Amino acid sequence: MKPYIITDRSSPTSEEIRKRQDFSKVVDSYQLTQSSLTLGKWLKWGGYLAGTCALVISSYFLLQSTEENPPVKKEISSISPDLPGQSTHTTQPRYAARDIAFTTYQIDSKTDVTINHPSGSTISIPAGCLVNASGETVSGSVEIHYREIMEPMGIFASGIPMHYDTLNETHHFESAGMIEIRAYQNGQSLSIKPEKTIHISMHSQDQRTLFNLYHLDDQNTRWDCQGKDIVTVATQGLTPIRDMASPMDITENQALTELDHQVQNARKLLAQCENSAPSPPKKAVKGKPKFNIEVDTSQFPEMKSYDHIVFQVADSEKNFDPNNAHTTWQNVSLERTSTPGIYKVIFSRPDRTISVLSEPVLSGIQFEAAQSRYEELFTEYNQKLLHRKREEEKAIEAYEKALAEQAHIIKEREETRRLAAKQVSQTRAEIKRTFSINQFGIYNCDHPRKSPQGCTLQATFKDTEGQPLQYAEVCLVDRKLNAVFVFNYTNFDRLSFDPASENMIWAVTAEGGLTYFGPDAFAEISRQNKSFTFVMTYAKENDLTMIDQWLADKPPL
Amino acid sequence: MSEEETWITAAKKNVSDFEPLYRRYHEKIFRFIYNRVSDEDLAYDTTSEVFLKAMLKIDKFKFKGLPFSSWLYRIAANTVKDLYKANKTRQIISADTPGLHLIAESISFEEKEEKEIHIQWLTESIADLPEEDIQLITMRFFEKRPFKEIGEILNLTETNAKVRLYRILDKMKKQSKHIHS
């Protein structure tokens, strides 16, 4: 019979359901079932209880075949090879090939133990704090299984949920470090005694305090906030980055400023020199009207060097009236024009003013003398000019040299700081995030983030052969963040990323292989795109090395 | 040890100590069953049956990563399946409008008018799916369960549950284009 859909069906309230609870009836049925099994025969009862029991008995046998400790399909992360058995309670890895393996430590549960993990993390386990499933304190050897997941590939591979959905938004966790810790004895999982805690000092590459400590619940569906961890940073002989000379300190460089002034001064003097070039003398033209005026050489130094200058009407003067020569003028003044060597001579009297475009000329012996003089002056001028030009060049050279030195210092300081930051990030014992736990499981120093912003696309996927790829989910990795942004098939039409960052997409095929879309191809996606088909590459060993290198080269925080 | 683990451990020794687990999960199991059967009283009866089965098999339950709740849901799912086989009830799919709209959006009916027109087609289409597919759709869209839990109840990996659901929606999308073109 075809199923029947009921939409928006009303259902009993919680109160009504609670009223129908009857545990004693279930216990009665249980005891009846047990006794009937003991007798080895079927019993028939009337009414509700009979129907229930009959169904129960028949179902009991059915249960034998279908409910036999339902198998748990879980991929188990690899553990250190020196111990048998496998760690359980782990989440199913998304990409088993890169899932971080557990390290297993054998400890004596009766003594205080501090485990020093190779990363620099420490786990302090007080004596007698471990109990078995019955709540009894265990003694003797126990196994502590511990692993750390610190970077995007580990987060991605682990399959540990690092996102949660609210009504309209998906939030993702940026992590400052994640650990998983379990304890076992003879294959049985252990717990921490309620009044005891285990102290963990986890190495981290992130010293920011914006992270909270979260614990993943047993169903691996919810992160419970445990409060704040405590961040300690030990420099241990390393120069703290904040104490290093900053590249920015160099901007107040007095010497450079002084050199810049010298350049400006040299240029000014050169311009002055260029403006003082002597004008070559001009020979008077016979027959052209001329007039003699007294020149204030302090205003017109270019005429200082020549004696007996007269002014000849210039060829460009078209309106000269020779009759003006017979007029008695009260005032005469001289002005330069835009044409070198041409002046405006202005004659005025109360009732009239005229101007005549003129040029200073010399005639006869004065001209020859002026010509010699000009040659001397020009030689002198050239020497001065050369000198000024050399001074300017020297000043510019000194300034540029100082500028290059400053740029070199800035670059050196930037490199020093970069190396120092890298050294801090690589030195395992430097940053510790400490917290106490009272139950085993997965702990994460997290900071929730929204999906990346900047560009949103409707995404489709295909392989390099052009075949469409079907994914249940893909993961976006933004290199500057320690986070993996998960997009599933319901929101592939809203795949967002920050185009100002370097990004990759990783996805696991149904066959368990890793495919990726690299950062160079990402950089070529236009921000104007509304949809995009990501051509995914199946990752080989070289590609995994490339990905590791790409992650390792991220700029320090 | 968590509170629940303590209860389970105690219940293994003495079935009367199962009561806290009964109280915790009774409503959840009832609603799971009620969403799938036609009759309210039958749902209550079946709920009792599920807990009885759980009590009978509690010693077989191991703390191996499958949550106790999922183990109970598995028993409930199989019990309901038995009811269908025995014709004790018609198979019911309890859908809700927001869930149907979400499915409609997933297969690209985004406009309000489109959704309204095609909801009827959608409900018929869901009813035509194989039983396990109906369970996937019901658990994800109408009961809003996370994929991990769905996988545990249906004995699938989380990834497989996602991929299966994706394929179901993809198939429905293709069918919708074919029918409405």
The ipTM of this complex is 0.90
Chain A residues whose CB is inside 8 A of the B75 CB are: 63, 67
> Among A24-38, A133-147, A250-264, where is mean pLDDT lowest?
A250-264
Chain B residues whose CB is inside 8 A of the A67 CB are: 53, 57, 60, 74-75, 78
Average pLDDT of span A64-77: 31
> In sequence order, which residues have a C-beta less than 8 Å from that of residue A145 and are 6 or more positions away?
A79, A87, A102, A103, A104, A180, A181, A182, A183, A184
Average pLDDT of span A330-348: 90
What pLDDT does A63 receive?
Answer: 38
Selecting from B22, B52, B149 the residue whose C-beta is nearest the C-beta of A29 gives B52
Chain B residues whose CB is inside 8 A of the A74 CB are: 65
Taking the CA of residue B177 and the nearest CA in chain A, the distance in Å comes to: 18
Chain B residues whose CB is inside 8 A of the A14 CB are: 27
Judged against a pLDDT cut of 60, whether residue A82 lies above it is answered with no
According to DSSP, the residues that pair with A182 across neighbouring strands are: A145
Q: Which amino acid is at B32?
A: F
Q: What is the pLDDT of residues A176-198, one digit of tens each?
A: 999 999 999 988 889 999 888 99
What pLDDT does A170 receive?
Answer: 66
Chain B residues whose CB is inside 8 A of the A20 CB are: 30, 44
Inter-chain residue contact B2 with A470, CB threshold 8 Å: no
Query: In whole angstroms, what is the distance from residue A546 CA to residue A536 CA?
Result: 15
Q: Which of A489, A493, A531 to mutate to test the interface with B (most CBs of B within 10 A)?
A: A489
- Kindly identify which residue of chain A lies nearest to residue B31, measuring between CA atoms: A11
Judged against a pLDDT cut of 50, whether residue A89 lies above it is answered with no
What pLDDT does B18 receive?
Answer: 92
Query: With 0-12 CB in 10 A as exposed, 13-18 as middle and 19+ as buried, what is A373?
Result: middle
Query: In whole angstroms, what is the distance from residue A431 CA to residue A449 CA?
Result: 23
**More confident call, A179 vs A338:** A179
Inter-chain residue contact B48 with A29, CB threshold 8 Å: yes
Average pLDDT of span A537-552: 87
What pLDDT does A150 receive?
Answer: 92
Inter-chain residue contact B159 with A510, CB threshold 8 Å: yes
User: Pseudo-torsion of CA A464, A466, A467, A472, nearest 10°?
Assistant: 60
Q: Please provide residue A215's backbone torsions phi and psi, each rounded to the nearest 5 degrees.
A: -120, 135
> In sequence order, which residues have a C-beta less than 8 Å from that of residue A534 and are 6 or more positions away?
A459, A460, A461, A462, A505, A517
DSSP 8-state secondary structure symbol assigned to residue A297: T
Closest listed residue to residue B5, CA positions, set A216, A24, A217, A198 = A217
What pLDDT does A85 receive?
Answer: 29
Taking all residues of chain A, what is their mean pLDDT, rounded to a whole number?
Answer: 80
Q: What is the pLDDT of residues A195-241, one digit of tens each?
A: 889 999 999 888 777 788 888 876 666 777 777 787 777 655 555 55
- Going by pLDDT thresholds of 50, 70 and 90, the confidence category of residue B122 is confident
User: Pseudo-torsion of CA B107, B109, B115, B121, nearest 10°?
Assistant: -50
Closest listed residue to residue B23, CA positions, set B51, B63, B59, B58 = B51
Query: In whole angstroms, what is the distance from residue B39 CA to residue B80 CA?
Result: 12
Q: What is the pLDDT of residues A424-438, one digit of tens each?
A: 655 544 788 999 998
Chain A residues whose CB is inside 8 A of the B4 CB are: 218
What pLDDT does A40 receive?
Answer: 46
Inter-chain residue contact B5 with A133, CB threshold 8 Å: yes
For the range B167-171, what are the long-range contacts, defined as Cβ-Cβ under 8 Å and sequence gap of 24 or more? B167/A470, B168/B129, B168/B133, B168/B136, B168/B137, B169/A489, B169/B103, B169/B106, B169/B107, B170/A470
What pLDDT does B99 receive?
Answer: 86
Selecting from B2, B51, B53 the residue whose C-beta is nearest the C-beta of A439 gives B2
- Kindly identify which residue of chain A lies nearest to residue B51, measuring between CA atoms: A26
Measure CA A255 to chain center.
36
- Going by pLDDT thresholds of 50, 70 and 90, the confidence category of residue A391 is very high
Q: What is the pLDDT of residues A396-424, one digit of tens each?
A: 888 888 877 777 777 777 777 777 766 66
Percent of chain B with pLDDT over 90: 38
Taking the CA of residue A241 and the nearest CA in chain B, the distance in Å comes to: 45
What pLDDT does B138 receive?
Answer: 94
Q: How many CB pairs under 8 A join A and B?
A: 181
- The DSSP annotation for B9-31 comes to HHHHH-GGGGHHHHHHHHHHHHH
> In sequence order, which residues have a C-beta less than 8 Å from that of residue A431 and are 6 or more positions away?
A203, A204, A205, A206, A207, A231, A232, A233, A424
**Would you call B167 helix, strand, or coil by DSSP?**
helix
Residue A94, token pair as written in the block: 């998304």
**Would you call A212 helix, strand, or coil by DSSP?**
strand
Judged against a pLDDT cut of 60, whether residue A64 lies above it is answered with no
Q: Which of A4, A52, A77 to mutate to test the interface with B (most CBs of B within 10 A)?
A: A4
Q: How many helices (H) and strands (E) does chain A have?
A: 8, 28
> What's the start-to-end Cα distance of chain A, in Å?
62
* CA A531 vs CA A19, A469, A516, A525: distances in Å: 54, 16, 18, 10
Average pLDDT of span A284-288: 88
Q: Which of A218, A437, A494, A514 to mutate to test the interface with B (most CBs of B within 10 A)?
A: A218
What pLDDT does A74 receive?
Answer: 27
For the ranges A270-274, B20-24, B115-119, the one whose mean pLDDT is highest: B20-24
Q: What is the pLDDT of residues B52-108, one digit of tens each?
A: 999 999 988 887 778 899 999 999 999 999 998 888 888 899 998 888 888 887 776
Measure CA B155 to chain center.
12
> Among A25-29, B162-166, B175-179, where is mean pLDDT lowest?
B175-179
Q: Which amino acid is at B133?
A: D
Average pLDDT of span A37-44: 46
- Kindly identify which residue of chain B lies nearest to residue A8, measuring between CA atoms: B96
What pLDDT does B113 receive?
Answer: 59
According to DSSP, the residues that pair with A203 across neighbouring strands are: A432
> Among A251-255, A288-292, A294-298, A361-365, where is mean pLDDT lowest?
A251-255
Q: What is the pLDDT of residues A362-371, one digit of tens each?
A: 887 788 888 8
Selecting from A11, A18, A69 the residue whose C-beta is nearest the C-beta of B62 gives A69
Q: Please provide residue A35's backbone torsions phi and psi, each rounded to the nearest 5 degrees.
A: -70, -35
> In sequence order, which residues have a C-beta less than 8 Å from that of residue B129 and are 6 or more positions away?
B137, B168
Q: What is the pLDDT of residues A447-483, one digit of tens each?
A: 888 888 888 999 999 999 998 888 888 999 998 888 8
Chain A residues whose CB is inside 8 A of the B30 CB are: 17, 20
Inter-chain residue contact B95 with A5, CB threshold 8 Å: yes
Q: Where are the beta strands (DSSP E) in B11-138?
A: 92-95
